[in-house]
Amino acid sequence: MRSSKKFSLKSPSRFKQQLLSWGNQFHEIVWLDSNEDNSATGEFEAILAVEAFTAIKTDYQYAFDKLKEYQETTADWIFGYLTYDLKNDVERLTSKNFDGLHFPDLYFFQPQKIILIKGDEVEFKYLRMVDDEIDIDFQQILEQSVPLKLTNEAVKAEPRISKAEYMQKVGTMLDHIHRGDIYEANFCQEYFAEVVDLDPFSIYLSLNEISTPPFAAYLKLENYNLISASPERYLKKKGDKLLSQPIKGTARRSSNPEEDARISHALANDPKENSENVMIVDLVRNDLSRIAKKGSVRVDELCKVYSFKQVHQLISSVTAELAEGISPVEALRTSFPMGSMTGAPKISAMKIIEELEETRRGLYSGAVGYFDPNGDFDFNVVIRSILYNSENKYLSFSVGGAITAKSVAEKEYEECQLKAKAMREVLSNLSGNS
């Protein structure tokens, strides 16, 4: 079904830049980049998928059934996204909050052209109808100039709710926790701008440069744009092995090495941050146990500090062996939405989230990734991300954090500001002027 050809690379890092620049000409683009982070344990360092041959686009109703049929029928590489609002397909839930972005709930496509970078080698996997273009495209990429960031007008994103409203809503969330309705819930707030003209590709280049996360993504499908600097993996499947790596626990970085080490050490030993993480690990273990071989669910890492350019994070790694007869899409459906973006108990937390948040999450706190022809997959968690609809010119990013019994509203608000820092910086053009 696909022709494959490999080439050696003299400068993989430069080729990666040239490849991304070349890929931006197409109507449908998914770019996934580990930023050479070995801890990401991905199958590839970067993947470019362009030019749809077939596609599926749907709302939440029977979305996972439709995706299963599409994935099994194509039996090919497919790339795309799952929005948070697919919770309404998994459970009897609704999404009635304001939605300025209007992204479809699920969108996947089968690319004509896939280009994969691993080490000092690049592999082209083209559908046979276009495989005569492999050599031409490789030469064009080698001749491509490194992408330049266009100058964008500074964008000031406004909060959907005020600080006072945020504090009040966290108070309501804490009331639910103290009553025993939930133990923990992820509460998010939106920042938005209307009638915005910008070049999403340039914004991606800037955001990736100042963040260099292990699960970066640039997606353009029609007028729907995702600019993602995600540090978090949702779920990976390789053979019958599953890996989930939830993040809970955030601390700032410091330019002073001694202070930075102190901050990292304090995060590792913070009882509140550790308890948040452990609660979500328990939730992930429970989700995976429903589709795993008996006794195969394990916690390989618990509350380990990983340091990124913008923040330190506590990350845990949960593994399992997929039980026989469970389809790849079913593995996703059973654990969706991811525990780190919902809470515990999961359904109660999602109901309370819907009541308290003002905005429909959409692709924020959903997932972007791919399936390969064997049914293996890898998906990130869409956080630290900017969403943009180039048709209605609406721009949005959201930030949030886990609310537990030990939460202090003021500190939770400060954590949100820390998580918003990189997005604010690129939108205000600070990165272009530094």
Please report, to the nearest 10 degrees, the dihedral formed by the alpha carbons of residues 87, 93, 94, 99 taken in order.
-30
Of residues 286, 303, 298, the one with CA closest to residue 342: 286
Catalytic residue flag (residue 248):
yes
- Give residue 103's Cα distance to chain centre: 15
d(CA 312, CA 119): 27
User: For residue 105, what are its two tokens?
Assistant: 């709930």
Element (H, E) at 383: none
Q: Alpha helices, DSSP H only, in 290-408?
A: 328-335, 346-356
Which residue type occupies 325?
Answer: G
d(CA 57, CA 125): 24
Beta-bridge mates of residue 18: none
Which residue type occupies 376?
Answer: D
Angle 242-207-266 from CA coordinates, rounded to 5°: 65
Single out the catalytic residue among 66, 87, 125, 248.
248
Q: How many CB atoms lie within 10 A of CB 262?
A: 12
d(CA 96, CA 11): 49
Catalytic residue flag (residue 232):
yes
Q: How many CB atoms lie within 10 A of CB 253?
A: 16
User: For residue 337, what are its two tokens?
Assistant: 């939405």
Single out the catalytic residue among 232, 276, 357, 412.
232
Of residues 413, 357, 412, 365, the one with CA closest to residue 387: 365
At which residue do the structure tokens 């589709």 appear?
A: 291
R_g (Cα) of the chain, nearest Å:
21
- Give residue 107's Cα distance to chain centre: 15
Which residue type occupies 17?
Answer: Q
Which residue type occupies 218?
Answer: Y
d(CA 30, CA 47): 8
Q: Alpha helices, DSSP H only, in 269-345?
A: 271-289, 328-335
User: For residue 169, what are its two tokens?
Assistant: 């809503």
Write the DSSP symbol of residue 148: -
User: Which phi and psi (to 5°) does residue 97 adopt?
Assistant: -75, 170
Catalytic center residues? 232, 248
